[in-house]
Structure 1
Amino acid sequence: MKKRIVIADDHQFVSWSLAKALSVLEDVDIVGSATNGIEAIVEIRKTAPDCAILDYNMPGANGLEVFLESRRWSPATRFILLTGSTTPETLETLVRSGIHGVSLKDATETEIIDMVRRVLDGAIVVGASAARLMAATSDALALTDRELAVLQAIARGHTNASAAESLGISPKTVDSHRTSLMRKFAVGSTASLLVAAVRAGLVDPSSIR
């Protein structure tokens, strides 16, 4: 018997893309779709699917609200929540809420398909990029005072040389701290480092140069 799936996203192209990606699974059938949270609740109550894939930021009711309401009417349904942009704190709230799968929308098609398979098989799954973001926040809490100073200097547009002069340390030491910061935040570029730092509340976006 095929597994029945409902997809809810206020961007129809995203819903179409998800349905297309999942079409490779021969044992899956898309039985409904919705473009806002209220429609999603109605569709889940009507179809009682095996799995509902929800966008977090939807009009009417967000993905978490849809999950909390819908599980009353369809307790056997397993839920996956996808989000394009959120904070580590929000991700942790989603994981603690009991949702069966949580992923950022930057996940690859293969990762999404794998998550759907595993959630349908009974697993609790956190996507790789979401897990990295939450882990980065935990590491961020352990930043040294010097690492935080270097991070804020980077945000203000300082080069290694100018940051070193400002902080009274050598450019080599600044570079070492920059490398440590990128490792802790699990990123590969200065731009990604600043995005992660803003999400973690360590850098004021208005200070970035």
Structure 2
Amino acid sequence: MTETKKIRILCVDDHPLVRDGIAFALQLQKDMELVGEATTGEEAVQEFKKLLPDITLMDLQMPGMNGITAIEAIRAHSPKAKIVVLTTYSGDVQASRAFRAGASGYLLKSMLRTELIGTIRDVHMGRKRIPPEIAASLAEHLSVDDLSQREIEVLRSVSSGNSNKIVADDLSITEDTVKGHMRNIMTKLGANDRTHAVLIAIKRGFLEG
């Protein structure tokens, strides 16, 4: 009897405990094998080119090159690459960016124990896999305008407790421009005030908490 070809998996995460947990889970599956590991986005791209795995499990938050940039680089090299995002963030913004970059699956780390193996099999078979709460959040914000890069910079400065004057000085713009950006931000996010805007931006993934 011929042995079934195993799904070859590359795991990218900067936390050893996460990699160890995934390695252990994959050991128990007869149709899967872990062929490589990486701890940074740069390493991920190098290992992908070397190993050409069937599935890449990609953390989003890593030192240096982040997961989104690594996904873009891998897909530029191999447009059919199948990549499953691993993240602690349930915000729709990160998910949206990941899928735009070319991810096929999205998995919260809190779901690894129950969803990892099924997600790998689904994505390997050509399906997309999105947790229901992420899908709902993506659908809810589908028609909402994204924040511009400048608006995110303004909000990041505001989140540090800075006044409009300090924000303006930091970004070399006028206070009136800062006020205009904040009005736009609050409208786009449906926020009541500055603090509310920061909280929504963190929840949705525009800012890191």
TM-score interval, normalised by the smaller of the two chains: 0.5 to 0.7
Helix, strand or coil at the partner of 1:26: coil
Helix, strand or coil at the partner of 1:5: strand
Q: Which residue of 1 aligns with 2:203?
A: 199
Helix, strand or coil at the partner of 2:111: coil
Deviation at 1:140, TM superposition (A): 10
Tell me the TM-score normalised to structure 2 length. 0.62
Match for 1:33 among 34, 37, 44? Answer: 37
Of the structure 1 ranges 100-109 and 10-19, higher mean CA displacement relative to structure 2 is found in 100-109
Contact 1:31 1:47 in 2 (8 A): yes
Indicate yes or no: 2:81 matched with 1:77: yes
Helix, strand or coil at the partner of 2:107: strand
Indicate yes or no: 2:97 matched with 1:93: yes
Q: Which residue of 2 aligns with 1:23?
A: 27
Q: Which residue of 2 aligns with 1:10?
A: 14
Q: How does 1:1-209 map to 2 (within 5 A)?
A: 1-85=5-89, 87-135=91-139, 137=141, 199-200=203-204
Contact 2:96 2:138 in 1 (8 A): yes
Give the partner amino acid of 2:23. A
Contact 2:40 2:62 in 1 (8 A): yes
Q: Show CA shifts across 1:32-82 (max 9, x none).
A: 001111111110010011110000001121111111111233344311111
CA–CA separation in structure 1 for the residues paired with 2:139 and 2:77: 34
Contact 2:90 2:134 in 1 (8 A): no
Contact 2:90 2:204 in 1 (8 A): no
Give % identity: 32
Tell me the TM-score normalised to structure 1 length. 0.62
Higher-Rg member (1/2): 1
Off by >6 Å, runs of 4+ in structure 1: 138-141
CA–CA separation in structure 2 for the residues paired with 1:71 and 1:135: 25
Give the partner amino acid of 2:8. R
Q: What are structure 2's unaligned runs of at least 5 residues? A: 146-198
Of the structure 1 ranges 123-132 and 4-13, higher mean CA displacement relative to structure 2 is found in 123-132
Deviation at 1:139, TM superposition (A): 11
Deviation at 1:129, TM superposition (A): 3.7
Q: Show CA shifts across 1:143-181 (max 9, x none).
A: xxxxxxxxxxxxxxxxxxxxxxxxxxxxxxxxxxxxxxx
Of the structure 1 ranges 102-111 and 34-43, higher mean CA displacement relative to structure 2 is found in 102-111
Contact 2:12 2:44 in 1 (8 A): yes
Q: Which residue of 2 aligns with 1:180?
A: none
Contact 1:104 1:129 in 2 (8 A): no
Deviation at 1:109, TM superposition (A): 1.6
Contact 1:104 1:130 in 2 (8 A): no
In structure 2, the CA distance between the partners of 1:2 and 1:87, relative to structure 1 (3 Å rule), is same
Give the partner amino acid of 2:134. A
Deviation at 1:90, TM superposition (A): 2.1
Q: State how many pairs are aligned.
A: 149
Give the partner amino acid of 2:48. I
Q: Which residue of 1 aligns with 2:185?
A: none
